[in-house]
A and B are shown apart, each in its own frame.
Chain A
Amino acid sequence: MKIATNILVLCALLFAACQAPIIRRVPEFNGDLVAAGHRKIAQAPAHDKNRWRLITAVHALNLGQHDEARTLLTTAMPSAGQILQSDARTRLAQSLFSPENIKGFHGESHERAMGWFYRGMFYWMDDEPDNARACFRTAQLMDALAAQPKHRADWVLIDYLDGYITTKLGRDGGDARTRAQANVGTTALPDYNLKANVMVFLQFGFGPMKKTGGDVGEKIVYDGGHSQVRAARITVGGRTLIAPAFDNLTFQASTRGNRAMDAILAKKAGIKKTGDLVGDIGVTAGAILTSEPKTEGAGVALLGAGLAGKIIGGSTEPRADTRTWTNLPQHLSFAALQLPTGTHTAVIEFLDTNGIALPDRQKNVSVTVQTGRDTVLFVSD
């Protein structure tokens, strides 16, 4: 009879532990990525809206809806000097019984850097190169917390553009360019063309994705991004220019190193694993001992301890925040051209690792060059 009771208790425990899967409906989609993005922003909980704003901003950028992209980025991102303060959600994210992704989304350092990179590009489009440079500097600062000193603030294009704008504004941008060249390795970065009036920002491929790692999901690991494209060939006005890949986002994401939050998650993971272990041992041993009248008392105590362990282990949430800005590229590239005032058509071919143009990727882009200001183009493969 007691065995039957014990089996019933165990069955009840098993049933209680089994959770029905969460059913997620397929989102409505009518082909308009920006409209779909806005629907996602509206539907998303408050702490996740910014992620959808960032994703939608890149969709808008790819579709040439620059005002839309700019507004979404400005709304989603804190101002350059803002301190990300503690709030109810960040406190919950640190608590034992809530996962990290309950906090408001601001992204990891490579995502924050990309946000500032895009905003810098928009300032340059608005003919405010010094504000563009300000954004690039903030972007670089986002990477200053990498674990290894050699990986701190090592974005190549960001330093290159900092130096370029400084030089264009009549100051010495040599230091920034030297840093960019040191970080890019063997690729020879193009010299600054001070007469260039068309700035072409290019991006290739699919960027890195976060996934959970560790025994109980307490770590973030990166699934590397992918790109067939390694460079772009730009032909315009009878001239051809090769734009190499300056930065690799998977490299930037994976060289971040440990976050301060990782120590908190590791502690939570330790408690979860210990709770589960105590639970497994306590429940099993307790069930066996309670079946004998002589050891029933000890068995009940062990069963109780095991249940308590199971409850703590089962309720502890050490999962790292793997929400990702999903449509970032794998590579960033840039080229500067000098074109006469007027409208031109630029042919952009995307080249693979062997320098061969991928036939299905060619793009023809119309460029309208104005006098007295730079024209900024954005092209994605």
Chain B
Amino acid sequence: MKHITTLFIGIALWVAVGCTNINSQHGPSVTELRPGERGFVVGLGIESQDLVTISEKMARGILGAEPISNAEGKPVVVLEPINNDTRFPIDKDIFLTRIRVALSKNAAGKISFVAREHMDKLEKERDLKISGQVTGGEKITGNKFKGADFILTGTFKAISSRGASGASDYVLYTFQLIDPDTSDIVWEDFHEIKKQGKDDVTYR
């Protein structure tokens, strides 16, 4: 009798665990990963681990670049949007933002960045101050908006192919620090990533 009860409970448990509905609402739980980690949703495109690796590498490169390391005072860097020449639509600011944050964190005040993307709002605020509508106008003498000592920008290029054996994407990430007075590229670095994969047979 005892064996039969155990067997019955065992079978009931096995059935309960084994029966799954593929339409179940109770999917896998959320897994938190570090942004530099490769997740289980992987693709051929530009992913967070690429962003982290590349931005850290570029930030180190910029800090070590002679025009920055030997600069007198704090050079002013302006970020210009990246030229995306790949097949992947991207948020073009995210790489530069990530590099800027990494530089700000590690440069210990050696570089300053100007917020050109907020120029409209900054001009509005300055005009309000000068007109006396808000306080602080007395401190403004002349134009205090800083010009750039260097412009940081980049270009992403890619070679993409797709065939019966799968798809492959090579992406070349290049970043340049440009002296706007001379148009000299004072620093440049690159990173390249090649990925390949294959859709499930039902989608090929």
> Which of A130, A141, A144, A264 is in CB contact (< 8 Å) with B83?
A130
Within A115-149, which residues are at the interface with B (CB < 8 Å)? 119, 123, 128, 130-135, 137-138, 141-142, 144-145
> Using a Cβ cutoff of 8 Å, how many contacts connect chains A and B?
104
Contact with B along A186-223 (1 / 0, CB 8 A): 00000000000000000000000000000000000000
Contact with B along A76-106 (1 / 0, CB 8 A): 0011111111111110111000001001001
Within B55-89, which residues are at the interface with A (CB < 8 Å)? 83-89
Q: In the complex, what residues of B have CB within 8 A of residue A259's CB? A: 204
Report the bound CA distance from A250 to B90 in whole Å: 31
B88 near A81 with CB under 8 A, answer yes
Sample 27 A-B pairs with CB under 8 A, ordered by A number: A78-B43, A79-B45, A80-B87, A80-B89, A81-B46, A81-B195, A83-B197, A83-B199, A84-B199, A84-B200, A84-B203, A85-B200, A86-B202, A90-B200, A90-B202, A123-B89, A128-B89, A130-B84, A130-B85, A135-B89, A137-B86, A138-B87, A141-B160, A144-B162, A145-B162, A145-B204, A260-B201
Closest to B20 in A: A88
Q: Does A45 lie at the interface of the complex (its beta carbon under 8 Å from any beta carbon of B)?
A: yes
A89 near B22 with CB under 8 A, answer yes
Q: Does A261 lie at the interface of the complex (its beta carbon under 8 Å from any beta carbon of B)?
A: yes
B22 near A86 with CB under 8 A, answer no
Range class of the B interface residue count: 20 to 34
Contacts known (A103-B202, A123-B89); A81 close to B43, Cβ less than 8 A? yes
Q: In the complex, what residues of A have CB within 8 A of residue B90's CB? A: 131, 134
Interface residues of A (CB under 8 A from B): 45-46, 78-90, 92-94, 100, 103, 106, 119, 123, 128, 130-135, 137-138, 141-142, 144-145, 169, 171, 259-261, 264
Closest to A260 in B: B204
User: Which of A80, A90, A93, A119 counts the most B-chain CB atoms under 10 A from its CB?
Assistant: A80
Report the bound CA distance from A197 to B43 in whole Å: 35
Report the bound CA distance from A85 to B200 in whole Å: 5
Within B152-194, which residues are at the interface with A (CB < 8 Å)? 160-164, 167, 169
Report the bound CA distance from A62 to B23 in whole Å: 32
A119 near B199 with CB under 8 A, answer no
Report the bound CA distance from A260 to B87 in whole Å: 24
Interface residues of B (CB under 8 A from A): 22-23, 41-47, 83-90, 92, 160-164, 167, 169, 195, 197-204
Report the bound CA distance from A94 to B202 in whole Å: 7
Closest 9 CB pairs of A and B: A81-B45, A81-B44, A137-B87, A81-B43, A260-B204, A144-B162, A131-B89, A82-B43, A83-B197
Closest to B85 in A: A130
Closest to B198 in A: A83
Report the bound CA distance from A113 to B89 in whole Å: 15
A261 near B86 with CB under 8 A, answer no
Report the bound CA distance from A314 to B44 in whole Å: 41
Report the bound CA distance from A137 to B162 in whole Å: 12
Q: In the complex, what residues of B have CB within 8 A of residue A45's CB? A: 23
